[in-house]
Homo-oligomer: A and B are copies of this chain.
Amino acid sequence: MRRMTARPANAHQARLLRLLRDGGPNSRAQLGDQVDLSRSKLAVEVDRLLETGLVVADGLAASRGGRRSHNIRLAPALRFLGVDIGATSVDVAVTNAELEVLGHINQPMDVREGPVAVFEQVLAMAAKLRASGLAEGFDGAGIGVPGPVRFPEGVPVAPPIMPGWDGFPVREALSQDLGCPVMVDNDVNLMAMGEQHAGVARSVGDFLCVKIGTGIGCGIVVGGEVYRGTTGSAGDIGHIQVEPDGRPCACGNKGCLEAYFSGAALARDAEEAAHQGRSQELSTRFEDSGRLSAVDVAAAAAAGDPTALDLIRAGGNRTGQVIAGLVSFFNPGLVVIGGGVTGLGHTLLAAIRTQVYRQSLPLATGNLPIVLGELGPTAGVIGGARLISDHLFSPA
């Protein structure tokens, strides 16, 4: 099924589409208040959008003291697909044109099985969402992968934790399989876009979005736009050195942040503590399941286990140390912490805050909120929908 063949013909139409996406259904008069076009021009553009089918009439708006205005909204049948491929699981969600999540599936998966196997699973999940009646088809999809991406082509480049993905034409392949336009980006950038669209970063132009999961990455937003760097690897802060000649890291270097704090490092440290009998709580959990993960540490910490709390604090300090440097350098208006380990919650946040507020200059930290992301696992998929809608809602 072919869908949404139309695209905005000019910048005005694109502007209107984005207003409707971000502000929901709106009256023609309200749109007029926001766009600075003459009434005639506005009417022409809206009529053209109605002709294309991208937007539809939606009844009458409440009166503002005179004649009631006609409501306009994005076509209710439009559907975007957001796909967030993590190291160990996939999130797939379907949204409407206003980027509201209509259905969301999460499944475990190993990214190391390679693109073919992963996309088979993703397509099955998408089919399941479609079969459940949430969508008749998809008008576009935004995909996040856990590694650097050459953005214009939508191709992963030299991803450390994704063997077999290097150079795989993700965008082209998925576009073919799904039969709709596709955009591909780093998962961290997607999270940043999600929090920007529907989360804590709604009104901030310049911010950082630190995602701590299996690895550590950082989404960079400059003037409302994601910054990707010269080769698409911007934000790759997991391998910043925090300890000269420190722990060996999987990347071959020593003392990387990821070697000290990340889902994997935390699990390893917890298992070591359990072995050494330093924590009753962790030892019990280890005997139960045979291994430990960040979730176990979070649970132990919630139960008040001092060793678990120490592990979290130590990791938070390391992370805070790096973030403090980034804050001095980048002077953001907001720092968002997200990803799998947000379950560690306020212990982690407190450690990071302490470190940043102590190390960075007052001018940079004076009015700097450091907060947890508020969307959790939906940040990525909303970001994906946002990515593709930004693309589709721009002049052809």
Contacts and interface: CB of A to CB of B under 8 A. Distances in A.
A394 interface: no
A233 B326 contact: no
Contact of A157 (B227, B234, B333, B363): B363
B234 A329 contact: yes
Interface string A315-336: 0000001101110111111000
A357 to B, nearest CB: 11
A322 B89 CA distance: 34
A325 to B, nearest CB: 4
A206 B366 CA distance: 28
Interface stretch (A126-134, A192-200, A235-243): A235-243
A108 B236 CA distance: 42
Interface centre among A321, A332, A359, A362 (most CB of B within 10 A): A359
Interface centre among A218, A237, A241, A366 (most CB of B within 10 A): A241
A66 interface: no
A290 interface: no
Nearest to A331: B229
Contacts of A324: 240-241
Q: Quickly give the copy total for this chain.
A: 2
Given A233-B364, A359-B241, A329 B331 contact: no
A361 B328 contact: no
A218 B367 CA distance: 22
A244 to B, nearest CB: 8
Given A206-B229, A230-B206, A361-B251, A240 B366 contact: no
B240 A158 contact: no
Nearest to A157: B363
Given A232-B331, A253-B359, A359-B253, A241 B325 contact: yes
A321 B246 CA distance: 14
B230 A331 contact: yes
Given A325-B241, A326-B329, A231 B364 contact: yes
Contact of A329 (B218, B231, B360): B218
A241 to B, nearest CB: 5
Interface in A226-274: 227-237, 239-241, 244, 251, 253
19 contacts: A158-B363, A220-B329, A222-B227, A229-B331, A230-B332, A230-B333, A231-B331, A232-B331, A233-B328, A233-B331, A233-B361, A234-B331, A236-B328, A236-B361, A237-B325, A239-B361, A240-B359, A251-B361, A329-B329
Given A231-B366, A253-B358, 11 more contacts: A218-B329, A229-B330, A229-B331, A230-B368, A231-B331, A231-B367, A232-B331, A237-B329, A239-B360, A240-B329, A329-B329
Per CB-CB distance, the 8 closest pairs between chain A and chain B, nearest first, are A229-B331, A234-B331, A230-B333, A240-B325, A233-B363, A233-B331, A158-B363, A233-B364
Interface of A: 148, 157-158, 160, 205-206, 218, 220, 222, 227-237, 239-241, 244, 251, 253, 321-322, 324-326, 328-333, 358-364, 366-368
